[in-house]
Amino acid sequence: MSEDRRAVVVGLDVHKSSVRLAAVRDGELLRETTLGYDHEQLLAEVRAWPGARVCQEAGPTGFGLHRALVAVGVDSVIVAPGLVPLRPGDRVKTDKRDARRLAGLHAAGLLTEIFIPTPEHEALRDLVRAREDARLDRMRARHRLGKFCLRHERQMPTTCWGITRRAWLARQDFSLPGQQQAF
């Protein structure tokens, strides 16, 4: 049996405050535990198996854990959750099952890793997401304001949010204090 097949494979189900770890070798579960989301604590667990291969799904916790593992020489990959094979009817998701499934599939070579952005690239992605969020927030606020005016039988002039519409909005006055505050 090749040395790679004998290596320990660790599946991680990562959340904002906890990490579920499942370590397997040749289909045998060696260790399963839940840790706090702490890089040092997780590194100590993984160091117990030199040459271990680690796998986790991409998620909102970012790539910091992956970078910490790679920085100390651990073979770590991140996979897209949508590309993890599922058996038909297997819809129950628990941390324990997810960590075990990731470890088993990674050991079998059935997972495809994703591109890991550099910290600079990730910062640029954050900026693009923030811009899109701000654009959507502005659009929702405009829609709310337009519907508020319609409820009070006030038709906004023009079809664009230019100087004319803004000047018209500045001249609006509502008789009831609650309406004025809402406006």
**What is the residue-level pLDDT of the chain in tens, covering all 183 positions?**
444 557 899 999 999 999 999 999 998 999 999 999 999 999 999 999 999 999 999 988 879 999 999 999 999 999 998 888 877 766 667 778 889 999 999 999 999 999 999 999 999 999 999 999 999 999 999 999 999 999 999 999 999 999 999 999 999 999 999 999 999
Task: Decide if 56 contacts 66 (C-beta within 8 A).
Answer: yes
Q: Specify the 3-state DSSP secondary structure of 145.
A: helix
- Of the candidates 2, 41, 42, the one whose C-alpha atom is nearest the C-alpha of residue 25 is 2
Alpha helices for 109-118 (secondary structure H): none
Closest CA to 74 of 39, 36, 115: 39
Amino acid letter at 20?
R
pLDDT at site 61? 86
pLDDT number for residue 4 = 52
Residue linked to tokens 């509502």: 174
Tokens describing residue 174: 């509502």
Token pair, residue 120, equals: 């600079």
Phi, psi (degrees; rounded to nearest 5) at 161: -90, 65
Residue 19's DSSP bridge partners are 14, 35
Structure-block tokens of residue 143: 């829609």
The count of other CB atoms within 10 Å of the CB of residue 45 is 18
What pLDDT is attached to residue 92? 66
What pLDDT, on the 0 to 100 scale, is given for residue 2? 45
